[in-house]
Copies of this chain bind each other. A is one copy, B any other.
Amino acid sequence: MKRSTINDVAKIAGVSKATVSHVLNNTRFVEEPTKNRVLQAIQEIGYRPSNVARSLTTNQTNTIGVVISDASNFFFGEILRGLEDILRQCGYGLVVCNTDETLEREAEYLDYLLRQRVDGIIAAATSERWDVLLRMDMQHTPVVFMDRTFEGQEGPFVGVDNKAAARLAVEHLIKDGHKNIGILAGLQRLSTMRERLAGTIKLSRKQA
């Protein structure tokens, strides 16, 4: 049997689609009795509005996409939980895209998200290609970058002052009397790593 639509509800309740829509969204006054007939009908046939049809007319999907390297990574895991908590309250869904720091997947997922017409994208970008990729669609899908930056990145960014943080850490160690201080600065491809390293270098020079 086909899924029931707003039309079925309207027919059963003896009203127009418009009215059904309006009681569903509280978007204009409807007499109690009428409203009740609608609600009743909805229950009766187990009607659930289609977000895809809805999105087509409203031009918004109530979904935002997140592009990260790896959701099972503790750092991003925490971020995801935070995002989800807020978004759920706002009636938004979350589509998570794991890129494994791979440029190919990054491009692939970006494209996917844009086709999905997500209302926005939050990305911890690996590649600089975003610069190119986004330019064209920027006007339509807002993008917020987080954690990492890259040459030519512009617009909203949320992150940590890695340089200052690294400096603080080193200063602390120095104050405690340590002389030989090492730093694990793995992937220099990532801006976070470069910044942290940068924050320590001057200090070690000064110290030498």
Contact = CB atoms under 8 A, between A and B. Distances in A.
Interface of A: 1, 3, 46, 48-53, 55-56, 61, 71-72, 74, 77-78, 80-81, 84, 88, 93-96, 98, 105, 108, 111-112, 114-117, 136-137, 139-140
Given A52-B52, A71-B71, A93-B95, 9 more contacts: A48-B114, A50-B56, A50-B117, A52-B55, A52-B56, A52-B116, A56-B56, A93-B116, A94-B96
B94 A46 contact: no
Contact of A51 (B48, B105, B117): B117
Number of copies: 2
Contacts of A98: 81, 84
Contacts of A88: 105, 108
A140 B116 CA distance: 22
Contact of A115 (B1, B50, B139): B50
A169 B96 CA distance: 36
A92 B50 CA distance: 19
12 contacts: A1-B139, A46-B137, A48-B115, A51-B117, A56-B56, A71-B72, A71-B96, A72-B72, A84-B98, A88-B105, A93-B116, A94-B95
Contacts of A84: 98
A89 to B, nearest CB: 11
A45 to B, nearest CB: 9
Contacts of A56: 50, 52-53, 56
B52 A136 contact: no
A122 to B, nearest CB: 15
A48 to B, nearest CB: 5
B48 A111 contact: yes
